[in-house]
Structure 1
Amino acid sequence: MVRGKLVFITGGVRSGKSSFAEQYLMNEQATRNVYIASGVAVDGEMTKRIQKHQIDRESYPVDWVTTEQPRHFEQVIPTIQSGDGILWDCVTTWLANELYEGEMEKVEKQLYQAIDQLLEKAKVVVIVSNEVLDEPLSTYESVILYQKWIGRIHVNLVAKADEAYEMEYGLKHQWK
């Protein structure tokens, strides 16, 4: 099978990333649309955001298979079928879930290996992430560590990607 297409989408909070990613994937006409969700409903705001995403997907004319995967991204690989379209939302949430478990070098390596394995099976993999590096570096050590990891992961994902987009105000800008 031909390697699937990798698409990276970033942007600020509520910039239209997820809607754009969902529409993009549906236009690819994959055999199945698989939504990999990294969010965990830890408070009322996150619960509402998750529910909004679920309602949005229900309104589309295609069915979505949803997999909740807040950590250990590589565990989704056995659930993916040949020709699937995958939307992973989102890297920044996943990283926050993984960051305090330690062994980040190992986790990052597993992430890239998992994406490569998904691209061997899937028609397209759309990865959504929040742009959190537009702000000045934090003075808090844990936030600086997070910014370091997310920056490096973004650079590596864009390098692997066939297409890369940034969303602002509901408008897309294609960088790659």
Structure 2
Amino acid sequence: MPLIFIAGGVRSGKSQFAEQMAARYCQAQRFIYLASGVALDQEMQQRILRHQADRQAQPIHWHTVEAPSAIADALAECKAGDIVLWDCVTTWLANIFYEGFDDGTPCFAQPGCLDNKLAQVKQAIEALLAQDIVLLVVSNELFDEPPYASHEVELYRQTLGQCHQWFVATAQEAYEIHYGIAKRWK
């Protein structure tokens, strides 16, 4: 079944676009929403609440799975006939990037940690796509800015870019959203 990749800037309309695309698959057994956001501040809490309200206003019922870091495990729980929307890669990557920070060494500073987590997610997605499951993946576009002076921020951005390249290469469809307007690239 298809992988559909959707990227765009912050508040570009990419989540709404993904939800509308998912609704086209009305024969789905379940609509699964994999949410990677964590309400660490008031702005993020408000964004999460807005996304939840938007989903509740739709004619389809979303089963929300909170998956701030364990996306591979959440994907493994999906079943044939599901429509799965993962929102979003950018947030998930930030979550795993700093996993272990409280113990003194974040994942990005641990040899092989990021590569291992990325490999697990890719493997889970490939297994998912071999089933009768549609997967829509949402991510932020962060590549219009010049390189950052901070090694840490630039490593995050480069890792996200590699993820985006893999998603687009694997996807049957790829879209970029600007100002609520979708451009199909693939």
Normalised by the shorter chain, which TM-score bucket? over 0.9
Q: Which runs of 5+ in 1 are unaligned?
A: none
Cα distance in 2 between the residues matched to 1:78 and 1:172:
30
The answer to whether residue 160 in structure 2 is matched with residue 150 in structure 1 is: yes
CA contact (8 A) 1:73 1:111 kept: yes
The answer to whether residue 96 in structure 2 is matched with residue 98 in structure 1 is: yes
Aligned-pair CA distance for 1:31: 1.7
Aligned-pair CA distance for 1:122: 4.3
CA contact (8 A) 1:80 1:121 kept: no
TM-score by length of 2: 0.90
TM-score by length of 1: 0.95
Aligned to 1:71: 69
Cα distance in 2 between the residues matched to 1:122 and 1:15:
30
Q: How many residue pairs get matched?
A: 173
Aligned to 2:123: 113
CA contact (8 A) 1:164 1:175 kept: yes
CA contact (8 A) 1:84 1:121 kept: no
What fraction of aligned residue pairs are identical, expressed as a percent? 47
What amino acid sits opposite 2:6 in the alignment?
A: I
Moved beyond 4 Å, runs of 4+:
none
1:21-170 counterparts in 2 under 5 A? 21-29=18-26, 30-101=28-99, 102=107, 103-170=113-180
CA RMSD of aligned residues (A): 0.9
Indicate the SS of the match to 1:154.
Answer: helix
Deviations 1:43-63 (A, max 9, x none): 000000000000000000111
CA contact (8 A) 1:74 1:110 kept: yes
Indicate the SS of the match to 1:121.
Answer: coil
Deviations 1:1-45 (A, max 9, x none): xxx110000000000000000000011222211000000000000
CA contact (8 A) 2:38 2:44 kept: yes
CA contact (8 A) 1:7 1:125 kept: yes
Aligned-pair CA distance for 1:117: 1.6
Cα distance in 1 between the residues matched to 2:69 and 2:132:
20
Q: Which runs of 5+ in 2 are unaligned?
A: 100-106, 108-112
CA contact (8 A) 1:84 1:124 kept: yes
What amino acid sits opposite 1:104 in the alignment?
A: L
What amino acid sits opposite 2:177 in the alignment?
A: M
Indicate the SS of the match to 1:166.
Answer: strand
Indicate the SS of the match to 2:164.
Answer: helix
What amino acid sits opposite 1:27 in the alignment?
A: R
Moved more, 98-107 or 127-136: 98-107
Change (3 A) 1:97 1:122: farther
